[in-house]
Every structure is written in C-alpha cells, then in structure tokens.
C-alpha cells in the first residue's frame, strides 16, 4: 500500500466530485419533465415587450379614428333609412303598408264601409263624422 500525500488526496476528492457532478442531471426535475409539458413551455415562451409611449399614443389615435368612422357610418345609415322611410311615406299613401298590417287592415275596412254606403246611395262619410269634424 502506498501512502497518499495530501496533494494526492485532494486530487482524488476533486476527481470524485467532478465525476459526480457530470453524471448527475443539471436540474433536479430534468428527468421527470417531458417536452410536452404545457406549463413549462408557456413559461419558456418569449414575453411580448410592452409598447412604448409613442406606440401607445399611435394605437389610441388609430382606435379613436376607427370609432369615429364607425359612428359616422352608423349615422349615415340611420339618415338613409330615415330618408327612405320619408320617401315611401310621400309616394305610397303614407307608408302604412310598410309599417304595420293592422293599419292596412283598418284602412281596408274603412274603404269597404265607405263603398257599401256609396252603393246604397248615401254619402260616403257618416253624418255624425261630417258634423263633429
């Protein structure tokens, strides 16, 4: 048996520690973690940098212009709808046909009643309605 000197003992200990470090995994959980682990992959993704002040200002301006354009478009559609309704009212007898079936039914009923009175040889408007106009 050879007697080891202090320097040889230190070398021997360093070699053992080096071999131990190289054989062990880098992380303690490295062996149990798979590639498909979603939580791990989410944390590994590169984070999106926050926009600067100028970029925020530009984004705000773009957003307001989009809002204003949509408001103008809605207002124009509303005005167009109103104009069409007014045109229909002027052209086709008050636009009652377009609004509601009940109004149409009432108008037809009234004209039928007037036609019956005319066929009987009477005035088409009842005398009480003529007096209390």
The reported pLDDT for the residue numbered 89 is 74
End-to-end CA distance of the chain: 138
Q: How many CB atoms lie within 10 A of CB 95?
A: 16
Q: How many CB atoms lie within 10 A of CB 14?
A: 10
pTM listed for this prediction: 0.35
| Residue 36: pLDDT band with limits 50, 70, 90 | low
Give the mean pLDDT of 36-56.
77
pLDDT per residue as tens digits for the range 9-35? 888 899 888 887 777 765 555 555 566
Distance CA 98, CA 95 (A): 5
pLDDT per residue as tens digits for the range 47-93? 778 889 999 999 999 999 999 999 999 999 999 999 988 887 777 66
| Cβ neighbours for 95, distance < 8 A, ≥ 6 positions apart | 85, 88, 89
């Amino acid at each position: 048996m050879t007697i080891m000197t202090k320097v040889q003992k230190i070398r021997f200990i360093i070699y053992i520690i080096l071999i131990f470090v190289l054989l062990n995994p880098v992380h303690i959980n490295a062996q149990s973690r798979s590639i498909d682990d979603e939580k791990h992959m989410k944390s590994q993704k590169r984070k999106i940098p926050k926009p600067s002040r100028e970029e925020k200002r530009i984004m705000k301006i773009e957003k307001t212009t989009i809002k204003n354009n949509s408001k103008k478009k809605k207002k124009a559609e509303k005005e167009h709808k109103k104009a069409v309704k007014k045109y229909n009212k002027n052209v086709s007898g008050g636009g009652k046909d377009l609004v509601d079936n009940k109004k149409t039914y009432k108008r037809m009923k009234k004209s039928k009643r007037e036609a019956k009175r005319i066929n009987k040889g009477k005035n088409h408007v009842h005398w009480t309605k003529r007096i209390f106009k």
